[in-house]
Structure 1
Amino acid sequence: MKQKSSSIQKKLVRLILSICGSVLLLTCAAFFVYEYLSYRQITKRELETLGQITATNVTSSLAFLSKDDATELLKALHSQKNIIAACVYDKEGKIFAAYPNETMDFPPIVREDYHFREGYLEGFQPVVQEGTRLGTLYLRSDLKAVYNRFALYGLIGLVIVGVLFLFAFVLSRRLQGTIVNPILQLAGKAKIVSDKRDYSVRAKKKNDDELGVLTDAFNHMLTQIEEQNAEIVALNANLEQKIEQRTAQLQEANLALHEQNNFIQTIIDSSIDLIAVFDKELRFLVLNKKADKLYQRPREELLGKNVLQLFPQLKNSPFMVNLQRAFEGEFIHEHAYKSLVSSNYFENFFIPLTDENNVVDRVLVIGHDITSIMQANEKLKQVNAELEKSNHDLEQFAYVASHDLQEPLRKIKTFSELSERNTQHPEILKRYLSKIGSSATRMTDLIKAVLNYSRLSRTESEPVAVDLNNVIRQVITDLELYIEEKKALIRTEPLPVVKGIPLQLNQLFLNLFTNALKFSEKQPVITIQHSVTPRNAFVQDSLQKDENTFLKICFADNGIGFDQEYAEKVFSIFQRLHPIDKYAGTGIGLALCKKIVENHGGCIDVESKTGEGTTFFIYLPYDAGLQDAAAKSTKETNKAS
């Protein structure tokens, strides 16, 4: 109680003293400013008068050039305590006489007036006799008198302010009782009501001012509270009985509702489909057991939480787009959706749920797992693709059988008939028999090539880790004589390990090296480089495996090359771009290369320009784990050796 009253008293005292102090400070400040400006002008006029008198006195000294007389006249300024320096300049502006001595720093004559500068008052007074200027008088005065006077004013002001503050403090203490006492009395009554809850207490009204109105309002409030308490006590008598009745009814309703919810949840959990209900804040309201398996989390961790907070990868996904459309009142049937939360495929139904005002406030999502169907469809697509490719190969083979394989047969038949007709001419017969042998050899090579190509389609060898560096070294060894004959220059960088069939990979690079050496009219230069590239960095239509990272091998030569328009044809079986009498071969080498690369789940492409060489781009699935295993194996081998 004392603490509160003391606080109010202090506030009133501070308020009164602040007002009085502000008024006094403003008054004193105005007085000081006025006095300061006035006294500066008075001091300036006094110095001007002294300058005029002194200038008159030194006129004769300047006229007769009596320096001693002028000095004596200036020494008379010693009686003026505020004069600290003076001098007389002659007509040329040179110092004629000085006080107290000539060693002081006297300024040049720049302006003939009196002015304040750097804490001093100084001025120049012309010395004139009968209209003729004989020289100039300079006076310098300090401002100690001004400062001393204002120090006295400040002391007097402080004393007056202190006395007035004391008077205001005493007066405020006496006057504040008329305001504070009624408030303290009212606060005391309020504390009694608060502590004892006694609403019969009333405050005594002393005056008819605003505090009297506040007292009446306080008493009226207590009267109303007292009446309301009486009514509440009367109502409480019957309220407990009603609460017990309502509680029993509520418990029965809750039990029935709980049983109904359990029944509905049992039905939902029995569904083989995923069932979820979302509110407008995209929070999970309902989930069934299927969701536990899909999300691999207990339902308790998901219910009531925002789906994007739990699964941020769904942002801007088709699932979220369809969910928002359903909240706009649209029924959505999504036939196939690849889940971003799991690896499953779903057929989704987004069903808007409305409240009593027919406003959509929830959305029911039913997801039917169609993963097995999608996998079967994907497998069917792969089988169809393989079947189409087999049919294409079969068509090519039929074309070969009807054209390429028949061509040497026709030659054999033709030259056999000619041989029968020329049995009497040994030289001609020998030439015809040689052509028959060449055609038979050509026929044998074509049949072997077709058999090799067909074996690639039905290989059952399991892929293993293959070091491509070993493959390249083996091919170079096999072609050592051919390479020396052509004086070929081979540049290859270290290649990684891939998963594949060693014999096929050996055949792949053997064919590429053979073509690079064969189709070259100058010293062959073969360059092999590699890089790791993502799937989307190149054409993927021919890829059979669902790989994300591939090894890109660039096999470049400086051979004769070909027009880029034939880039697709060179990989067809028995496709040749040059006559057989100029460049030997069966025309199946690059077809074998393409088949081998596709067997390994990759693809092959080519860029070429006539006369500038050819570059083959081979893409094979890349496994970083194989590189680590190979490096570890090499390290262990080096330790053992």
Structure 2
Amino acid sequence: MKEIVKINLDNEMDLILAHKRSMKIAEMCGMPSSLQTRFATAVSEVARCSIANGENSILTLGINVVKTTHKEIVAVLNDDVDLKTCNPEAFRYASKLSGNIAYSYSDNISVTKFSQKVSSPGLLSEAKIKSLVDYFKYESPLSPYDEMRKKNIELIALSEKLSESENRYRQLANTIPILICIINERNHVLLINESLQETLQSSFTVFERKELSTFVHPDDLDVIIENWNRLKKNKSEYFGEARVKKGDSYRWYLISITPNKIEDGTFTSWLVYFVDIHAQKTVEETLKNNSELKAIQRELENANSKLIFKNKELQQFAYIASHDLQEPLRKIRIMLSRAGEDLTEEQKNQYYFDKIMGAAGRMSDLISDVLNYSKVDNNVHTLLPVDLNEIVHETINDLSLVIEEKNALINISPLPIVAGVSTQLRQLFFNLINNALKFNSEEPVLTITADEDSSEEDQYKPIGNYQVIKVIDNGIGMDNKYSGRIFDMFQRLHERDKYGGNGIGLALCKRIIENHNGILNFTSKPGIGTTFFVYLPK
């Protein structure tokens, strides 16, 4: 059954709605006036019984397509009470009116189904059925009660969307290895993530000297308090270092305190995050106190630079968690508050609800991308034989709807078997192929091939024994001046409203290749296309 409209049966006003909408759907399907009345009255009789005796009563009106030449209007009433036992007379009368009524009761749920064959099924096309759905979706309220009920349903749906977004945001905040808390203007701690809770192993409710002294080293406490008092006056940022107690010892952390502002510049709270830099500080102290380590200082500095780079990535995660991920949530809250005002349906559809859905969608996509990136770690994995032919064909199958929509042509040559992690290689090719389809202003043509020698095309070809896979597209390409940026986190070279994405895909690809001890290069020309060279060790 294709659902057209649903009505919760709570009171006599809902009974009126049930009767009018049953009549209307019968009229719009071309049913004669006499049958319209009989069908709507039969539905109303059982609906009246449900309102009087039932619980959690829901009436659903729809169209059932049995076959091309047989279509029928269907009304299904679900209830948690055995209605027929409560009022058998109502069912006898409804059956006399309609003739096509079925009733069942099991597992404490009763289902009453009315059906009425449509006399001209050929006129009830898919487009016509869709127009019925749109009619009841956007119809003017039948009464102030109906208008209030519609608003309540919309608010409940928006509230559920908001709750889902908040839960996913909290999941991300608890996943990243950074200690995060949010503080209001009165020094009260509004939120802390699980990482900070586990580190402190105690409550943390107020950002002030007495509270901080329980976990910040005494020698570092005065600097934090002094800067905190300064920040509260001029709403500026602070970056410093301090030792934080973890268990029975202290570890060095980079502390960042930044004002949390919304789009119009209004200050709302303070974001505080702690990034573990204990390894760097240990290296610094060791080099400072032991002159005999000068010979290996260069190697330690190299390791230290890598740690700094990783911490930079973690800071980027904190920025996303505190700002980019909060913006869609703020928009949802703003729109939610406005949705309850006295607005027409046209105004809500045109200015607010679409924006709410767009913000929630971007929030969901961004959280998914960031979580995917954080899950691809650099730990040693057991590399197993992976058939790239299977990986690529599975990816093509996953993207089949996009390929069909864009009328894309994809050529795949036989690919080798490599040593790797199948889930990560699937992510790699998914992002490369999806980018080729996305960043394309014409019908995409994509070629995936294995090549023993790419030296003529790739001037940065690495030295070593590698399998080389080329992914070639005819997309929009990019200027060489961006070659040093495209693999960075959150880098976007195009406007969001023209090409989607969050600037994480190629950063994820590079990380996967590094996990496989491989190399990812590319060549590109604006307006002509891009070729990616995937080097995986043989």
- TM-score (normalizing by structure 2): 0.41
Q: Which has the larger radius of gyration?
A: 1
Higher strand share: 2
TM-score under structure 1 normalisation? Answer: 0.34
**Larger helix fraction of residues:** 1
Higher RCO structure, 1 or 2 (CA under 8 Å, sep 6+):
2
